[in-house]
């Protein structure tokens, strides 16, 4: 996809059609936005590596509800969340 400022976004897909990598090209220079994107069997993304080297990992329960979110071994959220 090419944007008006001439940035080109490249999406890499796996055999199931899910995005596994995103790269941006601008002025002839490629920059990785996200790579190693992994999914659970039925859709939720469970992790990825950002282009700046930070890793994101999510954990889910058996009903695919998120139970924790970690970035580079720092727990951002963990436990039960109640929506009201």
Q: pLDDT tier at 81 (50, 70, 90 boundaries)?
A: low
pLDDT of residue 42: 80
By three-state DSSP, how is residue 66 classified?
Answer: strand
Phi, psi at 71, each rounded to 5° = -120, 120
pLDDT tens digits for 19-72? 999 999 999 999 999 999 999 988 789 999 999 999 999 999 888 888 888 888
Question: Cα(84)–Cα(78) distance, rounded to whole angstroms?
Answer: 18
The pTM of the full predicted model, rounded to 2 decimals, is 0.78
Q: What is the pLDDT of residue 7?
A: 95
Running DSSP on this structure, what letter comes out for residue 6? S
């Amino acid at each position: 996809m090419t944007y008006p400022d001439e940035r080109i976004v490249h999406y890499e897909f796996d055999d199931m059609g899910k995005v596994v990598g995103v790269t941006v090209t601008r002025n002839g220079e490629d920059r990785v936005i996200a790579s190693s994107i992994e999914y659970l069997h039925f859709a939720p993304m469970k992790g990825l590596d950002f282009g700046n080297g930070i890793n994101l990992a999510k954990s889910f329960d058996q009903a695919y509800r998120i139970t924790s979110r970690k970035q580079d071994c720092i727990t951002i959220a963990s436990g039960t969340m109640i929506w009201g």
